[in-house]
Amino acid sequence: MRERALAIRAEGPVRGVQSLRDYGPRDQVHARLQLSGGGLWRKSVAGVDVRGDGTFVPFTGGVVREELDPSDHDTPFDLVRETLEAERR
What average pLDDT does range 47-75 have in this prediction?
Answer: 93
Structural domain harbouring 48: 2-11+32-88
Tell me: pLDDT of 60 over 70.
yes
Q: Is residue 76 a part of any domain in this protein?
A: yes
Tell me: pLDDT of 34 over 90.
yes
What is the predicted pLDDT for the residue at 35?
92
What does the mean pLDDT of the chain come to? 90
Number of structural domains in the chain: 1
Q: Is residue 21 a part of any domain in this protein?
A: no
Question: Could you tell me the pTM of the whole model?
Answer: 0.84
Rg (CA), the chain: 14
Q: Is residue 62 a part of any domain in this protein?
A: yes
CB contact set of 68 (below 8 Å; sequence gap of 6+): 46, 58, 59, 60, 76, 79, 80, 83
Q: What is the per-residue pLDDT across 35-57, written as a single tens digit (0 to 9) for each?
A: 987 666 778 899 999 999 999 99
Q: Is residue 40 a part of any domain in this protein?
A: yes
Q: Is residue 47 a part of any domain in this protein?
A: yes
What average pLDDT does range 21-40 have in this prediction?
Answer: 88
Q: Is residue 27 a part of any domain in this protein?
A: no
